[in-house]
Every structure is written in structure tokens, then in C-alpha cells.
Amino acid sequence: MSQPDIKQYVFRKGAEKRIPVSGTFELTSRCNLSCKMCYVHMTKDEQSKVGQELTTQEWIALGREAVDAGMVYLLLTGGEPLLRPDFIEIYTSLIQMGLMITVNTNATLLTPEILECFQKYRPEKVNVTLYGMSEETYGDLCGNTRGFDAAIRGILRMKEAGLRVNLNTTFTQRNIADMDRIVAFAKEHHIPVRTAAYVFPPIRNQHTPDDTCLSPTEMGKAAARFDWLTLDAKQKNQRIAFIQKCLNNQPAELEQQSRISSCMAGRGAFWISWDGNMFPCGMLSDYSVNVRSLGFQNAWQETCRWVKDMVLPKECTSCKFQKLCPSCAAVSQTVNHATDQVVPDMCARTEAYIQTLLSF
């Protein structure tokens, strides 16, 4: 059995038995960048008004409790997790528990000490957010012109060290022109790259969103172009063939699905925020319980109870384009404050995606 097959098996069994096999520790909401579309970023002053970050020992203790409960895979994220001066201590303590750890970072704060730590205790992978291919783009979108050079330098250093690096990106009005160059950079250095299917509003930060985000139609067009740039010829043919089947209502997988959410959130996965709140996933912020007061196991049981009756929109489960649409319970909850209501913007995004991909 290959590693992806093993992981899929563990996830499936975890979800079936309500074992928290996958977790996310959001170590901080602070970041050295100030990306205009970020859903969580706060300054130190803003953060101090609403809560206090979990301490080094609290994160380590939570790791032990989660491992005892069944956690195998862990994502360390933020904000920017490398911003914490105790990152190495937290990371080292957690990985020595036997966890498969992924780190989300913007790579701009990679120090020789952190790189040495990663080489000694190798993460499963490092996901680097790359927001553009110039100082100008980083200045406009992220408020830090020096972020670009620092990010590229960090990415290449990790690649040279033999670490498994993936690139993530999010396209907005301020960086959409950099798409071709981001993909070209990824291909040149043989790094997998993916883009966010949906940009969540600022659900857990203190900022008012501006006109940075793409419209639903622009989002669909951007996703189609990105796929056309990154998929190989065989994958393109398969994607187009699948779309044609959807249009003709042919494939068996388009039969009506269960309305119960099938993702891992609250079934085999959890998310703990910087201030100690557990969510089914980081985007389902309406469903939270404080781990500091309840302890991990009780918080997990409460999270499972919330998700148990969470249902998706009836229209989505019978939609012929459901396999091509990135909508989920979290998107519906964020937009509609209910998981069982359709998000028209996602319908528009999916329609634009299909029309654009078929036009190439």
C-alpha cells in the first residue's frame, strides 16, 4: 500500500470511528505580512484585545492529549507560525511524539536554525504560500516589498536541503497578472503548486474586506486558466471528458449524494486556534469550544456532536456539477450562517469555470 493510500485509509477509518487522526494547530494569528484577503491575520495589539496565544507548554500538552486520542497527522499554521520564537521547541517536541507534520509558512522567516531543525526532524512537507513574482506585487497585496525575495530565498533553500516543498497561492485583483510566472517558477523548480478554490471572507480577523477579491465569475475563470496551465495533456482530456459527461448527465457518480457532510471536519479532523478554541475546521468558526477550559477529549466530543447533524444544501447534493464545485459546509456557513443553504456565488464560479475550460 502506497503512502497516499495509507493516509486515505487512516482518514477513512478515523472518520468512521470519530477518531481525531488529523489536527491543525494555528500557533498564532500574527504575521510579518499583511495580506489584504487574509481571514485570520491580526496585529499583536489587535490580538491582545481578544485573547492570548497558547503558551509553548500548552501546545505541547495539547499535542500529547491529541496523540493519546489518535492524532497521526498534524498541520502547523498561522498567521505565520515561524514568527513565534518558540517555534523550534514546539515543532521538535511534537514531531518527537511520532507525528507526521506539515508546516504552512510564507517562507520569509526561514532561519538557518529552523532549516537545520527541518533537516534533522523532517516534516512530511512544507506548504509555502507564494503570492506573486515581484516586489511590487508583494508590496501591493501583502504590504511588504521585501517579502518576495525572502520567500523565493526560503523556498529554494528548503528545496536544496531536500525537503518536500509545495506551493500554495491565492489569486486576487492584485496578483492575478502573476499567474503565468508563478506556474513557470513552480515548473522550473519541480515544485507542485495549487491555488485556493475559494477565498473566505475575514472570518476571524479585525479588518474590513476591500475590493481585493475576484468576483465569482473572475474566480471561475482564474481557476480554469490555472488548471489549463498546470494539468498535463492527459489530465486536461480527462477533465474535459468529465465535464462533457456532466453536461449530458451521464456519470454514475452524479447520482444524488448524502446530505451529511463527507469531509473530515469534526469526524476525523479538528482545528485549534491560537487562543485555544477548537473548530471542526478553521473556516467553521461558528462552531467552537474552548480547549483550555474543557480539555482536548471533551472538546473533541463536543465538536463531533455539532457536526453529526450538519447537512449540505439539498440542491448541491443532486447538482450535476457537484464534483466540479468547491462549495462545502464551511462556505455555506460563512456566507449564509447555515450549512444547508445554496451559495449562488459558487454556482456562478462553477459555471464560469466550465465555460472557460471548454473554451481553451
Helix 344-359 and helix 216-230, axial crossing angle in degrees, nearest 10: 40
pLDDT score of 49? 83
Residue 339 forms part of a structural domain: yes
Amino acid of residue 32: N
Half-sphere exposure of 233 (CA within 13 A, CB side): 0
**DSSP character at residue 189:** T
Residue 224 forms part of a structural domain: no
pLDDT score of 333? 87
Per-10-residue mean pLDDT, the chain, length 360: 82 93 97 91 83 96 98 97 98 98 98 98 98 98 96 98 98 97 98 92 65 92 97 96 87 48 86 96 89 96 88 83 88 87 94 96
Q: Tell whether 330 and 301 lie within a shared domain.
A: no
Q: What 3 state SS string does 267-326 have?
A: CCEEEECCCCEEECCCCCCCCCEEHHHHCHHHHHHHHHHHHHCCECCHHHHCCCCHHHCC
Closest CA to 268 of 5, 23, 83: 23
Residue 96 forms part of a structural domain: yes
pLDDT score of 207? 60
pLDDT score of 210? 63
Residue 348 forms part of a structural domain: yes
Q: Tell whether 256 and 278 lie within a shared domain.
A: no
Cell of 137: 506585487
Closest CA to 161 of 125, 194, 108: 125
Amino acid of residue 93: S
DSSP output for 172-184: -TTTGGGHHHHHH
- What is the extent of the structural domain holding 338? 238-261+311-360
| Percent of the chain that is helix, strand, coil (3-state, to 5) | 50, 10, 40
pLDDT score of 359? 96
Kind and range of the H or E run holding 25: strand 22-26
Q: Tell whether 334 and 247 lie within a shared domain.
A: yes
Q: Tell whether 284 and 253 lie within a shared domain.
A: no
